[in-house]
Chain A
Amino acid sequence: MSTVTESRGPADGVTPDTTPPGGKGGRDVLREMDNPHRVRAVKDVVAKVVMWFAFALAMIPLVWILTTVVAKGVHMLGSATWWTGNQRNINSDDFGGGARHAIEGTLEMVGMTTLIAVPIGIMTAVYLVEYGRGGLARAISFMVDILSGIPSIVAGLFIYAVVVTTFGLRQSGFAASLALVLLMIPVIVRSTEEMLKLVPNELREASYALGVPKWVTVVKVVLRTAFSGIITGVLLGVARVMGETAPLLILAPYTKNFQRDLFNGNFPTLPMMINQDRGDLALPAAAERMWGAALTLILLVLLLNVIGRVVAHFNAVKK
């Protein structure tokens, strides 16, 4: 039998009948080789345990948040007026009313944000990946990096300085949308960029070789191929801004009424509704409303995610 199997056996001290290559030291080498097997197995187990532990640790806050919010907020969602009413003439310690004003407001504001940010973001990414060369592209890429690091409250202050201080306009839902645009653009640019880079160059060449102009290639081949990935990126952006509160504090003061006009006056949103009731947590009615609004916000993001995934699925590259 081979010397290797013998020295791996339980009788580790047994001398092999042929001297392994390397002469006298060979036995030691074999013994050392024996060890790494066990060491590797131990390392494997340790790594597995650490990994699962880290995973569990990461899941704790998520599960905790979800269970808390669901437990405390779910009965509000079943109340008669939650999906239809607003908070008009309802004081902090009154029960009743609904969140429809804030749901509509949040959707409208984020819708406006998406409408502005998505074309800008996607076109920027297309420029960076398909056209941009040299200094300008590097400068833009750098700016996007900076933009993605801007604290949301600073974005809010900036828009306040532009819209209210410089142009003398009133605070409004639209002003808040503009601040959210600043937060959403870098998310969309970065994710779209990654998706466009994943489109194989062979597809572009195939299209050019058919005598298709570059812009048609970009629109009909490149963007089309990356479409489902781009949708995912847009969703990330929407999720990022939907719960954003700081710019709203500055730009879109809360109202308990229905207010569908984005351009004039106070504007109701779910984060601001949460913020409103947060101050009166001692009152059961306010606490209830706050958790209800929190759960509604989570559900809204979830719903948009599901819709986006369905859309992406039906447009995904078919295998």
Chain B
Amino acid sequence: MAKRIDVSDLNVYYGSFKAVEGVSMTVEPRSVTAFIGPSGCGKSTFLRTLNRMHEVIPGGRVEGKVMLDDQDLYAASMDPVTVRRTVGMVFQRPNPFPTMSIYDNVAAGLRLNGVKNKKTLDGIVESSLKGANLWNEVKDRLNKPGAGLSGGQQQRLCIARAIAVQPQVLLMDEPCSALDPISTLAIEDLINELKNDYTIVIVTHNMQQAARVSDRTAFFNLKATGEPGRLVEVDDTTRIFNNPSQQATEDYISGRFG
């Protein structure tokens, strides 16, 4: 199910502002890639270009190429809606649909895209909730509002919702930054399981988290405020944290700045 992402020489703009410059990297399938870096270095912006979510913000556009296996995500014939069905996303703050029950939240992606068969939905809702390690906690109250869950449960609900549409890639934008340590642990365990089936890209501010969950780590930085963010280096996580090839990476992970 998982696919490889190949980015070559990508620039991201908001209007005339260049937010990210010259990123080239490969994201391996069935692995976890972490993006780390100081605030404003463009790692979230870059993440959003992987499923064209940056286009939701007025003026957002890219130059360069993003390939998902052999599909060009920015080909003229490529519909952003199709891209987002293939590349799912989990956000910083848990955002279940407040009008929907737990069941409806998980089924939302399918229902809103026209799947009506009750049996199909039941099956996918159950397997997605199980996949998100939430099934046992909510199986007796599937019809209760999703907003009534705890923050950590809500985030796992959002993960269940994202994997219910069976994407190839799962993007996570600081998925634990609004959660307590216990819920964070639950999510990290979940990421570890999910990487057997999905390509996972996670943005995190927490370097320990990057070290714990990821196979590869990409370090982003910017020269100064107002300058575009750049990819400094991407390598195996153990290498980045033990023996990075760039001085800036070394400085960042050892806490000398950022």
Write the nearest CB–CB distance from A316 to chain B, whole angstroms.
Answer: 9
Indicate if B53 sits at the interface (CB-CB under 8 A).
yes
Contact digits for A210-227, partner B, Cβ 8 Å, 1 yes 0 no: 111100110011001101
The residue that A318 contacts in the complex, of B51, B91, B148, with Cβ under 8 A, is: B148
Q: Are A212 and B112 in contact (CB under 8 A)?
A: yes
Which of B64-72, B157-165, B238-246 interfaces with chain A?
A: B157-165
Q: Are A209 and B81 in contact (CB under 8 A)?
A: no
The residue that B109 contacts in the complex, of A200, A203, A210, with Cβ under 8 A, is: A210
Write the nearest CB–CB distance from B154 to chain A, whole angstroms.
Answer: 11
Indicate if B202 sits at the interface (CB-CB under 8 A).
no
Write the nearest CB–CB distance from B56 to chain A, whole angstroms.
Answer: 6
Indicate if A206 sits at the interface (CB-CB under 8 A).
yes
Chain A residue numbers with a CB within 8 Å of B99 are 224-225, 227, 315, 317-318
The residue that A200 contacts in the complex, of B53, B58, B86, B95, with Cβ under 8 A, is: B95
Indicate if A208 sits at the interface (CB-CB under 8 A).
yes
Docked pose: A317 CA to B81 CA in angstroms: 27
Write the nearest CB–CB distance from B238 to chain A, whole angstroms.
Answer: 31
Q: Are B147 and A210 in contact (CB under 8 A)?
A: no
Docked pose: A110 CA to B107 CA in angstroms: 39
Q: Are B112 and A205 in contact (CB under 8 A)?
A: no
- A interface majority secondary structure: helix
Docked pose: A54 CA to B194 CA in angstroms: 62
Chain A residue numbers with a CB within 8 Å of B158 are 206
Contact digits for B78-108, partner A, Cβ 8 Å, 1 yes 0 no: 0001111110110101011111000000001
Q: Are B56 and A210 in contact (CB under 8 A)?
A: no
Chain A residue numbers with a CB within 8 Å of B51 are 209
Indicate if B145 sits at the interface (CB-CB under 8 A).
yes
Chain B residue numbers with a CB within 8 Å of A315 are 99
Docked pose: A204 CA to B113 CA in angstroms: 15
Q: B52: nearest residue on chain A (CB-CB)?
A: A208
Q: Are A204 and B97 in contact (CB under 8 A)?
A: no
Supposing A210-B162, A319-B148 touch, asked if A133 and B98 sit within 8 A by C-beta, the answer is no
Chain B residue numbers with a CB within 8 Å of A221 are 97, 112
Q: Can you list 8 A-B pairs, Cβ within 8 angstroms, ordered by A?
A: A206-B96, A208-B84, A209-B89, A210-B84, A210-B112, A210-B113, A212-B112, A318-B148
**Hey, which bits of chain B sit against chain A, CB under 8 A?**
51, 53, 56, 58, 81-86, 88-89, 91, 93, 95-99, 108-109, 112-113, 145, 147-148, 158, 161-162, 165
The 6 A-B pairs with the shortest beta carbon distances in the complex, nearest first, are A211-B85, A210-B109, A209-B89, A318-B145, A202-B95, A211-B84
